Chain A
Amino acid sequence: MGTFINIIKEHIQYRHQIFKLAFTDLIKTYRGAILGWSWAIIKPAVTIFVYWFAFTFGLRAGRDVSGYPFFLWMIAGLIPWNYMNEMLLAGMESLIKYRYLVTKIKFPISTIPTFVNFSKLIIFSILLLIVIIIFMLFGFMPDLYTLQILFYALLAFIFFNVWGILSSMLAAISVDFTNFIKAIITAIFWLSGILWNTNNITNPWGKAFFLFNPITYLINGFRNCFIYKVAFWQEPLQLGCFCLVLLVLTIVTVRIYKKLRKEIPDVL
């Protein structure tokens, strides 16, 4: 508990640096590329286009969902996944990327995944705005349910921040961990229902699996805002399970942080 409070304190104390570094991270990621900033948008836009093309003309799997074109259903999940994918990897590699903050100056290492997360969140917010605009172009205006994306974005931010702290420490210790996560990321993608509807699952084991899959919860959450028009309090079981998973992840992270914090500078 003391360690947890310490982490929170470090964040409050270094809030200015966190924001400064979030922008530094953004600039760092995109400067030097010819198209610079626009890459942040172009990359996911191309992905969306390719999927749209494949599903509309090729695979013919594009049936409407709840009265929305399949394409809209898809991007309502794919854009949040884009952020999660970035955080799964960039959060994990944040300590290695910002090694000098660990080994050269006195700096709280728990805040390093946080500012990387903020940097990704900025791009994510812009993309969410674009999604809202695409929905409007298709004639679907935002409503009160859409407002819930703030709630789910907050949950996603918290979840992946904890993940970032945990995974970045393990990645700093060994590339085996990094390689393992990179190897299973496609599996995570297909096992979280980003391109197919997990609500259609009837097998009880399958149901339980998706109930405890935090990524599924978040993806469905964003679709609740855009497609299903469900309020978050109408799914208390799902929310409860997500919070349980988050709690367990946090406890594990804090314990490992306590164990490793002082050793991390020695191994980086």
Chain B
Amino acid sequence: MNENVIVFKNVTKKYRLFNSRRARLLSVFTRRIKYITKVAVDNVSFKIKRGETVAILGKNGAGKSTILKIITGVAFQNEGEVEVKGRVSALLELATGFEENFTGRENIYLKGDLLGIPKDEIKELEKQIVEFAELEEYIDQPIKTYSSGMRARLGFAIYINIEPEILIVDEVLSVGDKEFEKKCLKRVNEVIEKNNVTLLFVTHSTETAKKFCKRGIILNQGKLTFDGDIDKAVELYDNSIN
């Protein structure tokens, strides 16, 4: 039952930094253009089993988001192997990624199509999503009339309600107001408890991390420096900051 759903084996991700966009364009056609290599994820290995709740801790630029993007499938490693099993729902920058001229409701259906979710399944979830997002009559207005908080609410409502098997949360819950954040966290909790969802969580609040996760991974400049019990991880991480 508890098989590995995410496996990272010696994964390295490098970003190529050029002087300018033009230099990057030229580099497509010639090898002579110089660039700097930034190693964002450095030879990282770990395995995550179904139903595990993992917090990823690390300073800004440690490579947390890059790892989550690789798991989501919107960034690619340069070396190593990555294996991901199951429907991934990634809460990355919630307020973006809508069709501006489409209504909230149309965007729900579009997202469903894009994520490959059957129509009747979306239909069932629609009401749940609309209710959770608290948009009321705005749900049938174009997204371009939404505030950023409303967008984030809709984004969250869609991704949390499509019944993910792997849920990825990257520092996004602070966009709305405090009350909504609380509601989101509560919902995240419900989902992981009920459906045995695997959770990957990035947050600056070690308190929240402790509450939600049993396991902690610490990253430092792209390298994995600790992987184990969350209390130990938080302690180490807090010490390293102070």
Contacts and interface: CB of A to CB of B under 8 A. Distances in A.
Interface string A101-123: 11111110000000000000000
B115 to A, nearest CB: 6
A17 B74 contact: no
Interface residues of A, number: 32
A173 interface: yes
Contacts of A17: 113-114, 116
A209 to B, nearest CB: 23
B15 A266 contact: yes
A256 B28 contact: yes
Scoring A103, A262, A267 by chain B CB atoms within 10 A of each residue's CB, the highest score goes to A103
Interface stretch (B96-104, B173-181, B193-201): B96-104
Interface string A34-73: 0000000000000000000000000000000000000000
Contacts of B72: 105-106
Interface residues on chain B, size class: 20 to 34
Contacts of A173: 21, 24-25, 28
Question: Which secondary structure dominates chain A's binding surface?
Answer: helix
Contact of A104 (B21, B24, B93, B99): B93
Top 10 closest pairs, chain A to chain B, by CB = A106-B73, A100-B97, A262-B76, A174-B25, A174-B21, A104-B97, A20-B113, A173-B25, A31-B101, A176-B22
Interface of A: 16-17, 20-21, 24, 27-28, 31-32, 100-107, 170, 173-177, 256, 259-263, 265-267
Interface string B86-102: 00101011001111011
Given A24-B99, A104-B96, A266-B15, A175 B21 contact: yes
Contacts of B93: 104
Contacts of B73: 105-106
